[in-house]
Amino acid sequence: MGKSAQAIVQDGILSTNDGQQTVALSDSRWGEWLANNGRFRFKGAVGHFSARREIRHDNEYWYAYRRRDGVLHKAYLGKAEQLNLAHLEQVAATLAGQDVVAQIKVSTRPQRQLPSLWYSNAIPALTKVRPPTLPPNLVIRPRLSQKIDRPVTFLCAPGGFGKSTLLNAWQQEREDLQVAWATLDADDNRLSHFWTTVLLALQAVEPDLGLELLAQIRLSFPLTPADFVSRLTNEIVANHEGDFCIALVLDDYHHIQHPDIHAMMQIWIENLPACLQLVVASRARPPLALGRLRALGAVTELELEDLRFTLDEGISFLQRNVVSPGMAYGDMEALVKRTSGWAAGLTLAVLGLNRQEDRRHFLDSFNGTHLYLREYFMETALHQQSEAVQTFLLQTSILKQLTGDLCDAVTGQTGGAQTLERLWRQNLFIVRT
């Protein structure tokens, strides 16, 4: 048949509008037809799309297109041998914005039941794979950005210490490096969501990277976690040569708590290709084994004490952000010390200063009980915890120093030492002395 003839696949049968050919998708002739033709229309049980064959890296792949709500959506179908009816139905459902549900009945061999942990067709918002907007009057911190030079970097500190801002400024400085960015949230605490977000972040800088892996996540995911990590690593290596060609930033990793995701990350960081630099920012310390990487000098760890503003950085921040009239040097020095170099604390202090007519009174009275600081702590720390942890923090807040025995005495409970250890790992404003 001529390539200009329109072909439609419906009810498991390919037919052309010139009436010259009908082929069942279960027939070997289906593969022959795909080899000799470049497009067809698919009408499924819950959706439809146009399919086209395209060339990527000297290989032929099929892609599905559908316009919905005025927006053209694209999905990866795979190679010709992957285009069975079940697969086409699933992609049609995805493009229709529906879950792939059990009522799609097709005449094909039974497929492996998808574990609920992997099962997802959710597509993360594009804002998750783009760096946030940098704040105005940014303080450049070369003493920290210069340390982000190892295969793996971990930034672990409570909220408001400038982790995201530092990494955003760093990625803008690195013109020699393609930097992929993923801002994680609670939805990413599933294998499917997590790796979909990671792949979409990588595709923002390498559009053809991980297309088949992304399709497998959304459809059937037959790979073991180790095989998935291996294939992703191999794809990155195949697309890059040399050291540190591409970097991946995983921001807000503290939302990830599922052990299977941590296990896959452990495999990945122990087998990172030379061309990839991994940077992880988290409020909590990830439960990952880093001993071998430390011994190899392959990991940088920046924690709360590193991320505090130095006196010079804090004064520079105040000079850039406090509206005229400026502050006396002694007042700036005192405010930096009072906030212990906490970037969010200084930001909130500036917000208050710029709204006050009596700055002297504000500076003399600004402390941890200020409304702005209380609201910040309540929203970003306290309200994110379980009721039991909230009660523990409130009951022990009267103590200047915390020990397991003191906490047990104040709360009337046991296990204070274990709770303190857990809160320390979560970086909930608890410092070991």
For residue 111, give every residue at least 6 positions away whose Cβ sits within 8 Å of its Cβ, in sequence order, or none: 86, 220
Residue with tokens 């991946």: 248
Give the pLDDT of residue 103. 33
User: Is residue 219 included in any domain, yes or no?
Assistant: yes
The string of pLDDT tens digits covering residues 350-367 is 888 877 777 787 788 777
Query: What token pair was written down for 114?
Result: 């998808």
Band of pLDDT at residue 185, cut at 50, 70 and 90: very high
Terminal alpha carbon distance of the chain: 79
Kindly state the average pLDDT of the residues 399-414: 85
On whether both 364 and 224 belong to a single domain, the answer is: no
> Which of 60-64, 80-84, 215-219, 415-419 is the least confident region?
215-219
**In the listed set 307, 325, 352, which residue is the last one of a domain according to the structure?**
307
For residue 20, give every residue at least 6 positions away whose Cβ sits within 8 Å of its Cβ, in sequence order, or none: 1, 5
User: Is residue 117 included in any domain, yes or no?
Assistant: no
Query: What token pair was written down for 87?
Result: 């697969």
Q: 277, 151 in Cβ contact below 8 A?
A: yes
152-156 sheet: strands from edge to edge = 178-183, 246-251, 276-282, 152-156, 299-303
- Is 60 exceeded by the pLDDT of residue 256? yes
Query: What token pair was written down for 231?
Result: 């294939």
The string of pLDDT tens digits covering residues 212-235 is 888 778 765 567 888 889 889 998
Give the pLDDT of residue 222. 61
User: Is residue 68 included in any domain, yes or no?
Assistant: yes
Helices in 115-245 by DSSP H: which ranges? 142-145, 163-173, 191-203, 211-219, 225-239
Cα–Cα distance between 121 and 116 in angstroms, integer? 12
Query: What token pair was written down for 202?
Result: 């990588």
- Is 70 exceeded by the pLDDT of residue 107? no
- Is 50 exceeded by the pLDDT of residue 2? no
Kindly state the average pLDDT of the residues 242-255: 88
On whether both 315 and 398 belong to a single domain, the answer is: no
**In the listed set 285, 307, 329, which residue is the last one of a domain according to the structure?**
307
Q: Count how many Cα atoms sit within 13 Å of the Cα of residue 262 in the half-sphere of its side chain.
A: 13
Q: Residues 103, 106, 107, 108: is their CA dihedral positive or negative?
A: negative
Amino acid at 401: Q
On whether both 299 and 336 belong to a single domain, the answer is: no
Q: Higher confidence at residue 318 or residue 354?
A: 318
- 153: exposed, middle or buried (C-beta count within 10 Å: 0-12, 13-18, 19+)? buried
Band of pLDDT at residue 95, cut at 50, 70 and 90: confident
On whether both 193 and 316 belong to a single domain, the answer is: no
The string of pLDDT tens digits covering residues 386-396 is 788 778 877 88
- Is 80 exceeded by the pLDDT of residue 56? no
User: Is residue 155 included in any domain, yes or no?
Assistant: yes
Give the pLDDT of residue 74. 84
Cα–Cα distance between 256 and 266 in angstroms, integer? 13
On whether both 206 and 222 belong to a single domain, the answer is: yes
Give the pLDDT of residue 85. 85
User: Is residue 285 included in any domain, yes or no?
Assistant: yes
The secondary element (H helix, E strand) that includes residue 304 is: helix 304-307
Cα–Cα distance between 271 and 258 in angstroms, integer? 21
Query: What token pair was written down for 177?
Result: 């490096």
- Is 70 exceeded by the pLDDT of residue 164? yes
Band of pLDDT at residue 108, cut at 50, 70 and 90: very low
On whether both 395 and 417 belong to a single domain, the answer is: yes
Pick the closest to residue 353 from 339, 71, 410 (CA basis). Answer: 339
On whether both 238 and 136 belong to a single domain, the answer is: yes
Pick the closest to residue 72 from 87, 50, 53 (CA basis). Answer: 50
On whether both 141 and 170 belong to a single domain, the answer is: yes
On whether both 248 and 143 belong to a single domain, the answer is: yes
Give the pLDDT of residue 351. 80
Beta strand ranges found along 212-352 (DSSP E): 246-251, 276-282, 299-303
Query: What token pair was written down for 55?
Result: 């060339």
User: Is residue 52 included in any domain, yes or no?
Assistant: yes
User: Is residue 284 included in any domain, yes or no?
Assistant: yes
- State how many domains the chain has: 4
Give the pLDDT of residue 168. 93
Domain span including residue 421? 385-425
- Is 80 exceeded by the pLDDT of residue 31? yes
Give the pLDDT of residue 18. 67
> Which of 103-107, 271-275, 301-305, 393-397 is the least confident region?
103-107
416 three-class SS: helix
On whether both 360 and 293 belong to a single domain, the answer is: no
- Is 50 exceeded by the pLDDT of residue 116? no
What's the CA dihedral at 281, 287, 289, 294 to 10 degrees? 30
On whether both 301 and 409 belong to a single domain, the answer is: no
On whether both 417 and 368 belong to a single domain, the answer is: no
**In the listed set 261, 279, 307, which residue is the last one of a domain according to the structure?**
307
> Which of 212-216, 268-272, 338-342 is the least confident region?
212-216
User: Is residue 13 included in any domain, yes or no?
Assistant: yes
For residue 108, give every residue at least 6 positions away whose Cβ sits within 8 Å of its Cβ, in sequence order, or none: 26, 84, 85, 86
> Which of 69-73, 168-172, 252-256, 276-280 is the least confident region?
69-73
Q: What is the overall mean pLDDT for the chain?
A: 82
Q: Count how many Cα atoms sit within 13 Å of the Cα of residue 61 in the half-sphere of its side chain.
A: 17
